[in-house]
Amino acid sequence: MQYSSPTKLYDAYVFDQDGTIYLGDHLLPGAKRLIEGLRKLGKPVRFLSNNPTKDPQDYVEKLGRLGIPTPLSEIANTVVTTTRWLKTHYPDATVFPISEEPLKRALRAAGIKMSDDPAQIDIVIASYDRTFDYSKLQIAFDAIWYHKRAFLITTNPDRYCPFPGGRGEPDAASIVAAIEACTGTKLRANMGKPEPAMLEAALGDLDVDPANCMMVGDRLHTDIGMAVNTGMASALVLTGDSTAAEAQELPQDRQPTFVLDRIDHLIPAEIRQEWGWTDSDE
């Protein structure tokens, strides 16, 4: 594990967003000029998120407000990957989404059948849902345990969603745990990081070898774990969830390739010097 800037450029760069590019409603130091610099160099960039409570267009608008104009084609979140997976593998299934509206809108738009009748449900989708209650748990229980017809998937494996200032909210893993606990079932599939499906969705339109691409994020389990699972180089930025000490404690084959204090240190030092960049600029 190297605590320094990469010495070469990669064919494409895939970024986590919150904690990596921005924190809340504020860009992190060096993020804007990094993205502009990579585009200037002709390097494709893609943005990922495990957050299923937003439409992909929401990220386009947010990045634009923060000064990083981004087309919809460069965005992939678990709303995208869940819908795509269902259409590919279970196009005729009836699903029960324990989720917020963005995922439900995407499922309707894709023509995927939804129901809250346990006798009709083939797949229970556990997601981030701030309206989760006992009645939803009962429907999932009946579909999986009583009728013995449904199986369980999740949009993302996150235990909590961090907020600026150190607060957070329980995320999809807490709902998965509740369903697993009462039904005795085990999660069959995860549509978010660290599963390779997220990177496949991000890089699918590019003619690149993942081994020559870079995944950048602030979480060891999801962002860096996904890069390791896919055979990509990775950079942990110390502006969000995980720390350098936590990275050092991982087995060597699970550690990030680089650990950076600033995201713009992804650009090799030689190029940064040629462009006249200094850390005090942003």
Annotated binding site: 16, 18, 49-51, 193, 218
**Catalytic sites, residue numbers:** 16, 18
Longest dimension (CA), the chain: 66
Distance in Å from the first CA to the final CA of the chain:
26
CA angle 40, 200, 232 (to 5 degrees): 65
Specify binding-site residues for substrate.
Answer: 49-51, 193
HSE-up (13 A, CA, CB side) for residue 74? 22
Distance in angstroms (rounded) separating the CA atoms of residues 261 and 5? 10
Please state, as a whole number, how many other Cβ atoms lie within 10 Å of the Cβ of residue 178: 18
CA angle 246, 250, 255 (to 5 degrees): 95
Specify binding-site residues for Mg(2+).
Answer: 16, 18, 218
Q: Residue 215 belongs to what H/E stretch?
A: strand 213-217
Residue 208: CB partners within 8 Å, gap ≥ 6?
Answer: 11, 12, 44
In the structure encoding, which two tokens stand for residue 50, read together?
A: 């495990």
